[in-house]
Structure 1
Amino acid sequence: MNELLARIKRQINDGDVDGAIIRLREIMAVSPETNAEAYYLLGNAYRKLGDWQGALNNYQEAIALDPESPAAEARDMALDILSFYNKDMFNQ
């Protein structure tokens, strides 16, 4: 399973995000309650597509399965990005 997830991670990094999402959904259909890393990778894939809600939902699932998951940091960074705005840009 770890090798498969490593290949999917490379697939996301190489830009085949849609293909990675399909593969991750297949994995989760078999064992959704046991694979925090798959949810984390799915969150990364959605983030790459600009689907912030999808990313946050999957990061949260990963955290629920494994509180030590890197999804916790990814979720916090995504929330920081979404909450950021520059007030001065609106005064130009």
Structure 2
Amino acid sequence: MESIQQIKKYINDNELEKATGLLKERVLVNPKDDEAFFLLGNIYRKQSNWKPAIECYLTALDINPNSPARQAHEMVMEILSFNNPDLYNP
């Protein structure tokens, strides 16, 4: 199994498919790996795939309430709740 550090390198190198596959394997083996869920959420967020990103962040928070997934989840919710009325009234 690849280390978290190696998976982070794949993410930084934009090898998202490879990192996603490795993280999914990792959470199957250890469903309490909050860092893997957090990183998986980050990948989905980068892809603007909001629903699975939120699900991963919430899973990470269920496992570890002090996870950095809390801030990431809040950020996604802010993005999704953004409303600019000027966009509707040109």
User: TM-score, with normalisation over the residues of structure 2?
Assistant: 0.93
Q: Secondary structure of the residue that 1:50 maps to in structure 2?
A: coil
The answer to which of 35-44 and 10-19 deviates more is 10-19
Give ranges in structure 1 of 5+ residues lacking alignment: none
RMSD: 1.4
Out of 60, 72, 75, the residue aligned to residue 74 of structure 1 is 72
How far apart are the structure 2 equivalents of 1:85 and 1:18?
32
The aligned runs of 1:20-39 (5 Å cut-off) are 20-32=19-31, 34-39=32-37
Residue 49 of structure 1 is matched in structure 2 by 47
Distance 1:86 1:9 in 2: 35
Alignment length (residue pairs): 90
Q: Per-residue displacement from partner, 1:14-57 (whole Å, max 9, x unpaired)?
A: 2111111100011111111x210000000001111110101000
Q: Distance in 2 between matches of 1:5 and 1:86?
A: 39
1:58 alignment counterpart: 56
**Overall identity of the aligned pairs, in %:** 42
Q: Output the amino acid matched with 2:43.
A: A
Name the residue aligned to 2:89.
91
Q: Tell me how far apart the structure 2 counterparts of residues 40 and 27 of structure 1 sit (CA, whole Å).
A: 12
Runs of 4+ with >3 A deviation: none
**TM-score normalized by the length of structure 1:** 0.91
Greater percentage in helix: 1
